[in-house]
């Protein structure tokens, strides 16, 4: 028998079929799940940090927006009382309870004027806050306009950094 005749029925080696890209191997699924778990842990940590660091600002902005929306329906006395309370809570969150919680009257307005990041004239513009919450019901559009000016002045307070004397979120956690 001839060598060529003996090799005739043999065929050449055929290459392997290419590996399909889908579905991935189990190792890729595990790697994707691990990556997703790491991503979720990072997002959760970032959220916790943001709430701890900026939580009072987020809550204050929400309350400020709500008060602005309700302002046309409020009488002057109620608008002034709610604005005064919100200003006091924002001040305590920014600067600490010990710095401003005990202040009242002219001392309170002077403290606000000294620490306002935009230089808003709290002594003049905020004077009605000292008397209007204790006055009889006042349905005056001028009082609501005055409250609207004070609410507009609170925007820079929320954007400004906390004063160094303010403790971390332990004291400033609730607005």
pLDDT tens-place string over residues 116-139: 888 889 999 888 888 877 777 767
Whole-angstrom Cα distance, residue 68 to residue 62?
10
Domain locations in the chain as residue ranges: 57-175
**What integer pLDDT is reported at residue 51 of this predicted model?**
82
Whole-angstrom Cα distance, residue 46 to residue 43?
5
Tokens of 18: 């290419």
Mean pLDDT of the chain: 84
Tokens of 82: 């709610």
Under 8 Å between Cβ of 95 and 163: yes
Residue 166 has pLDDT above 80, yes or no: no
Look up residue 21 and give its DSSP letter.
Answer: S
**What integer pLDDT is reported at residue 64 of this predicted model?**
93
Residues contacting residue 17 through CB under 8 Å, at least 6 positions apart: none
Q: Can you tell me the mean pLDDT for 90-96?
A: 87
Considering only CA atoms, give the Rg of the chain: 33
Confidence of residue 164 (pLDDT cuts 50, 70, 90): low
Q: What is the pTM of this model?
A: 0.64
CA distances, 116 to each of 11, 111, 119, 150 (Å): 90, 9, 5, 12
Whole-angstrom Cα distance, residue 148 to residue 170?
31
**Orientation of helix 76-95 relative to helix 105-115, angle to 10°:** 60
What are 51-84's pLDDT values in tens digits? 887 788 888 999 999 999 998 888 888 888 899 8
């Amino acid at each position: 028998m001839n060598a060529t005749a003996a090799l005739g029925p043999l065929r050449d080696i055929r290459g392997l079929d290419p590996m399909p890209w889908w579905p991935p191997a189990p190792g890729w699924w595990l790697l994707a799940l691990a990556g997703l778990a790491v991503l979720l842990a990072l997002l959760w940590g970032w959220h916790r940090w943001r709430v701890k660091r900026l939580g009072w600002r987020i809550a204050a902005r929400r309350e400020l927006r709500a008060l602005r929306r309700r302002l046309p329906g409020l009488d002057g006395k109620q608008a002034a009382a709610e604005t005064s309370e919100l200003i006091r809570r924002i001040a305590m969150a920014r600067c600490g309870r010990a710095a401003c919680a005990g202040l009242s009257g002219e001392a309170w307005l002077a403290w606000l004027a000294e620490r306002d990041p935009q230089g808003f004239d709290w002594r003049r513009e905020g004077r009605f806050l000292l008397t209007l919450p204790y006055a009889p019901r006042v349905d005056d559009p001028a009082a609501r306009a005055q409250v609207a000016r004070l609410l507009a002045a609170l925007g820079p307070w929320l954007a400004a950094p906390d004063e160094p004397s303010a403790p971390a979120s332990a004291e400033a956690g609730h607005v």
